[in-house]
A and B are shown apart, each in its own frame.
Chain A
Amino acid sequence: MNLHEYQARALLKAAGIPVPDGDVATTPNDAEAIAARLGGRVAVKAQVHAGGRGKAGGVKLAESPGEARAHAEAILGMQIKGLTVQKVLVVPAAAIETESYVGVIVDRVSQCPLVMVSPAGGVDIEEVAAKTPEKIFRRVVDPRYGLLPYEAMALGFRLYDDVRLVRQAAGIMRQLYVAFLQAGASLAEINPLVTTPEGEVVALDAKIGVDDNELARRPAIANLRDLSAEDPHEVEAREAGLSYIKLDGNVGCCVNGAGLAMATMDLVKYYGGDPANFLDIGGSSNPQKVVTALRIITSDPSVKSILFNIFGGITRCDDVANGIVEATRQVDLDRPMVIRLTGTNEEAAVRILEDAGFSALTDMDEAVERAVALAGEAA
Chain B
Amino acid sequence: MSIFIDRDTRLVVQGITGRDGAFHTKQMLEYGTSVVAGVTPGKGGQRFDQRVPVFNTVADAVEETGANTSVIYVPAQFAADAVYEAADAGVDLIVCITEGVPVLDMTRVMPFLREANVRLIGPNCPGVISPGRAKVGIIPGRICREGSIGVVSRSGTLTYEIIHQLSRHEYGQSTCVGIGGDPIIGTNFTDCLAAFEADEMTSAIVMIGEIGGTDEQEAAKFVREHVSKPVVGFIAGQTAPPGRRMGHAGAIISGSSGTAAEKIAAFEAAGISVMRRPADVVPLLQERT
Contact = CB atoms under 8 A, between A and B. Distances in A.
B140 interface: yes
Interface string A218-252: 00000000000000000000000001010100000
A113 interface: yes
Contacts of A213: 76, 100-103, 249
A258 B107 contact: no
A28 B138 CA distance: 56
B215 interface: yes
Identify whether the interface residues of B are mostly helix, strand, loop, or mixed.
loop
Interface string A252-276: 0001111111110111111000010
Interface stretch (B38-46, B87-95, B273-281): B273-281
B132 to A, nearest CB: 19
Interface of A: 51, 106, 108-109, 111-113, 126, 129-130, 142-144, 181, 184, 186, 211-214, 216-217, 243, 245, 247, 255-263, 265-270, 275, 278, 280, 283, 311-315, 342-344, 364-365
Contact of A108 (B104, B184, B210): B184
A245 B246 CA distance: 8
A245 B237 CA distance: 13
Interface in B213-242: 213-215, 234, 236-241
Contacts of A143: 104, 107-108, 111
Contacts, number: 166
CB-based closest 10 A-B pairs: A259-B155, A258-B247, A257-B157, A259-B158, A126-B255, A262-B236, A260-B157, A262-B237, A260-B158, A311-B157
Contacts of A314: 20, 138
Given A216-B76, A245-B244, A261-B246, 19 more contacts: A108-B215, A113-B107, A126-B255, A142-B111, A143-B104, A184-B102, A184-B104, A213-B101, A216-B77, A243-B246, A247-B239, A261-B247, A262-B239, A263-B155, A269-B238, A270-B277, A278-B246, A283-B156, A364-B161
B37 interface: no
Contact of A129 (B103, B104, B255): B255
Contacts of B77: 216-217
19 contacts: A186-B103, A211-B103, A211-B249, A257-B157, A258-B248, A259-B251, A260-B156, A260-B161, A261-B246, A265-B237, A267-B277, A275-B239, A278-B247, A283-B156, A311-B157, A313-B139, A315-B157, A344-B140, A365-B277
Interface in B119-164: 126, 138-140, 143, 153-161, 164
A255 B247 CA distance: 11
A143 B243 CA distance: 26
A258 B277 contact: no
A311 B164 contact: yes
B256 interface: yes
Contact of A311 (B106, B153, B160): B160
Contacts of B244: 245, 278
Nearest to B240: A262
B104 A214 contact: yes
Identify whether the interface residues of A are mostly helix, strand, loop, or mixed.
mixed
B110 interface: yes
Contacts of B254: 126
Chain B CB count within 10 A is highest, among A111, A126, A216, for: A111
A268 B247 CA distance: 18
B21 interface: no
A365 B100 CA distance: 31
B241 to A, nearest CB: 7
Contact of A256 (B100, B157, B241): B157
Contacts of A344: 140
A315 B23 CA distance: 13
A257 B255 contact: no
Interface string B68-90: 00000000110000000000000
